[in-house]
Structures are given as structure tokens and as C-alpha cells.
Structure 1
């Protein structure tokens, strides 16, 4: 990451570098959100040639190949939204564009003190802090998708985050009858995830059914669901998160569901353990608009959860 960030900064001209760089303590570092809005940082659409290539290389450095492919797919959905919403070419740049995503560098990647970087735009917010060559924070990690599903006929269906929905629904349906009321909390789903744009997770006591109280089939599905979320992150992040989960105790990881149980019905679920929370929502646009986030209960942005 440090090498990629340094190469990226070397390709920028003076004004672009001013846009892209902040001190690590700058409040902008925690000014995150996944909505379409004006952002600080340098936009991909203002970069060309080596600068554009090095920007994408930096993003790829924080992801697996599968994770980077997901990010490209999320960005490509902006073209679909532009076609749905209409508008002339002049509006396209200010409304929906797959390059309307921004990179910000916080601190000095070449130095020995802590530094960080962010890649953000509509339905994406990736945030990293690094110290002494090690990732010390990788949250909040937000990935969304609108449309959640594009159906162009047999063999031409795209569901960017479909597996995050399908495995969770299998887990819901695998619940024994005597467990349903504890796991399935309501037939009405909340209208979004909590804490969008807020620096630290918004949580309450864990709800739903504990891993320890699940059937073997459910336990496997819950592990599969965690694996699906972790598939986007590099091995070092996966190792750190799993160490934290195991230290907190897998037995105390809870799963809870709200909303309908079938495809295209508004729904919401939460996976919460002592150290992390995943929150997923698909209620907007007739349940075809996904928001999903992983947060660290000890604190996002390498900050205590109280800040």
C-alpha cells in the first residue's frame, strides 16, 4: 500500500497533490459517507495516463482480485443509473459516472508514523490506516449496489452482492421452528443501515440467535456468510479480523433478520459479535438496492469507539 500510494502521489501535478493529501489528524479522514455527494480528494475522472493507472493500482492494493472486481462492478452500476435517470451528456459528469470516485491520502506513506488512505464515492467507502508497514484499521468498509440485480435474460443476470443476500436467506430458512421468533425479529425491515456517515458504529445489544445455539447447518452457513464478506479483503486483514472474532468468541456471534424471506422482498440483517458488526439492508427501490457494511466495535478509523 505504501509503495502504491507513493507511486500515485508521484504521478500527480501540484494542484492534484494538494487536493489528494491531508494530515493524518485532519477531520476529513473520518468524514465518510456512501451517498452521492461532493467530496474532497482527487477524483478518478480528473486523472489520465499514469496517474489514472496508479490510482487504480492503489485501490487494488487494498483488495483481493475478487474484491477489486466487485469495486469495478459497483462503479459500473453508475452508468446504469445514468441511463435509468436520463439527462444530457453535460449532466452525466455531475450526476452518475463510474469515475466519480475519489482518493485521499492522510499523512506520509513514505514516513515512519501512521498514515492512511480512502477510496470513496457512491456506494463505496474503503478506509485504511497503516503503521510500521502493518494495517491497523480497515473499517468502515462499505460496499453497496444499485441496482442490486440487473436481469438481461438467461445467463445475463448481474447481482454484485447477491451471495451476501443468498447465504443469509439460507441461514434464515435453516432455522428450526422453535428458533424462528428469536432469529426473525420482524416482518418489517428498517429502511437502512445505521451509522451512515457517522465516525463510529451505532450499535445496541446483539439480537437474534447465537452461533453456539445454532444447528450445525446454520453454523456452517454463518461461517460461509462471514467468508463472503471477507473475500474482498487482503489476507492480512482477513487474518486480523478472524483473530479478533476468535478472541471475542465465535459462540457469541449473533444473527438476526428483519423483513420478508423471499427474493425481491425488503429485508435487513445484522451479524454481530463482541468485536465486529455487519449490517446489511435491501429495502429501497423495491428491494433492489443494497447497502452493506463491516465495522469494528473497538473503533473505526484507528480511533476508540467513543470518539
Structure 2
């Protein structure tokens, strides 16, 4: 059911940790009622935990599309998005969207490839509700934020790139999600033969991230090499790779999150590999800890098509924060 929010109810809400109220309220205040009817839903709406990374022409998402916004409304939206991401996270998101223009040049399919077919949806009332969230989603991008009091969840978070390396035209050689690929390859190739035997748990790559678009990600079977079996330099590479995913968050929250992950201890974290160990050949890796999972594949289109995701086993869509909220409240 759509949330029956009025513009007058949007003003003046208190923001969550690290963010002022202005970016969200300014964006919502810029929308007219017909747009709000498209963008706002009840927090309990089934679509909140239904996510994907397909082109909108293949599987639409509820919400309002970028193409339905005026130039000034788009400005407000980008300010809001920047307030929820780090500079590098925002830049990655913009580069991912811009790849739709490259695909349009290559394929000529304007219905399938459109950088304006990205959806914005709000769940709950940011002014009156203790729990609310919003998402931004389209081809190769799914960003999901859930706010509970003074805390915010940033998962699940999917980023993809096709082409991962632009092979033709004025932008030839440009790469999106390069570090996610390069650091993984650097780490697997830093291992000695015994370590590689542990890390490579499958000779053939997966065609897709294993958790795909499941609403709730369950821990995968333990596979790969334990972080404690890595030497000091290899562990530095592993933490650098993990942080590359976390760093899409605002900087202060990213630093707090990497500290929390490190508290899980290296013996709870595994790095696993499947497929080739050289670039431009299909490969997949995962990093799994007690509370989180990273999956990465570069397998399609002659290993020039990346899918990557961060999942929180208990925290996707703010489930852990919601559970804690209800424990501390009078709700039963």
C-alpha cells in the first residue's frame, strides 16, 4: 500500500547519524503530489525487500524514475545520494549508470539501455516513523538504505559494470570497478602453490553471484583459505580489498564498519576463488565472515562484465537494527 504522505508532513524531520535532514527533505519537498504517490510506500510494502540489478525494460522496479524528474529535482536527488555515499561510492554509481550510454552506442537499443531508467523509492515516513528507508536501483546498481533512530543500514549493495573495460571509442581503456577486480587478482596471485590449493575451491567459474537477488542471504558453504593462513602482506591485501567495498559508505561510517569487521578475527574470514587467475579470463571470488559476504564475478562477455555485491547476513534491509529496535521498544 502506498504511504499517504503529504508535502507538509515531510518538512522538519530529524536526520540520522552523519546526515543532516536537508538532503532528503529538500528532495521530497521538490516533488509534486503525483510524483510522491509514485515514490512513497509503506515500510511494510513487499517491494522493499525485492531487489534486482536488471535493466528496467526486463523487470521494472516500483518508484519514480530519474526521467520523471525535472532538472532541479535531479539536482536535489544527487545531493541526497551524495549524502548517503562516500565520494568514491557516488562516483562509482555515476560511472555505472553512464555505462548505459556505452551499451546504447554498441547495441542501439534505446528501450533496453537508458541511463534515466533508474528508480527511487521511499519506504515509511522520514518525519514521523522511527523506521524508514529508501532505495535507488536500475541496471547494475542496487543501493538500499534503512534508517532506525540514529543508525543506518547500507545493505544489500550491488554494483556491476558492463563493459568493465571500455574497448572502443573516445573512452577506450576506462574501467569501472577496477580495484575490486585488480585487488582480487593481486591477492590470489600472491599466494604460493599450497595456499592456492586452499583458496581455489572450484576450477570453473560461477556464471553468476551465488546469492543472486535473494532477499535474505544465508552463509554459503565455507570455502577457500582462512585469513590466518595468509602472511602479513597478503592480509593487508585482503583488508584493502574488503575496505574497497566498505568505502562506498560515508567515510566515518566506513571506518567504523571496517573496525567491526576486524573484530570478527581473521580465523572467521575466508577468501575463496573459482575459475582463472588472470584478467580477461572468467573468474569469481568470495570473502565470507561471520556477519558478511562479498561476492564478485567477472565471467560474462569474455570476462568483461562485472557483478559485485555486499550482503549482511543479519543486517540486509536493516533487519538486525529493526529487531534491536523492537526489543528496546514497547512493541510486541
TM-score range, shorter chain: over 0.9
- Quick one: which of 205, 208, 221 aligns to 1:189? 205
In the other structure, the counterpart of 1:290 is 306
Q: Cα offset for 1:50?
A: 2.0
Distance 2:71 2:261 in 1: 42
How many Å apart are 1:266 and its aligned residue? 0.3
Alignment of 1:9-158 (within 5 A): 9-36=28-55, 37-87=59-109, 92=110, 94-135=111-152, 137-152=153-168, 156-158=172-174
Distance 1:154 1:169, change over 3 A: farther
Q: Give the 3 Å change call, closer, same or farther, for CA 153–222 of structure 1 in structure 2.
A: farther
Count of aligned positions: 300
Task: Give per-residue Cα distances to partners, 1:71-110, cap 9 Å, x unaligned.
Answer: 11000000111111124xxxx2x32111211111111112
**RMSD across aligned positions (CA):** 2.0
SS at match of 1:118: strand
Shift of 1:155: 8.9
Question: Secondary structure in 2 aligned to 1:71?
Answer: helix
Confirm or deny: 8 A CA contact 2:100 2:113 kept in the other structure: yes
- Segments of structure 2 that go 5 or more residues without pairing to the other structure are 1-18, 324-332
Is the contact made by 1:255 and 1:271 (CA closer than 8 Å) also made in structure 2?
A: yes
Pair 141,155 (structure 1): closer, same or farther in 2 beyond 3 Å:
closer
TM-score (norm. length: structure 1): 0.92
Structure 1 residue runs of 4 or more that deviate by more than 4 Å after TM superposition: 152-156
Determine helix, strand or coil for the equivalent of 1:227.
helix
Tell me, which stretches of 5 or more residues in structure 1 are unaligned?
none
* Alignment partners' CA distance in 2, 1:193 and 1:184: 16
Counterparts of 2:52 and 2:78, CA distance in 1: 20
Q: Within 5 Å, which residues of 2 pair with 1:224-239?
A: 224-239=240-255
- Quote the Cα distance in structure 2 between the aligned partners of 1:177 and 1:197: 34
Q: How much has 1:242 moved relative to structure 2?
A: 2.1
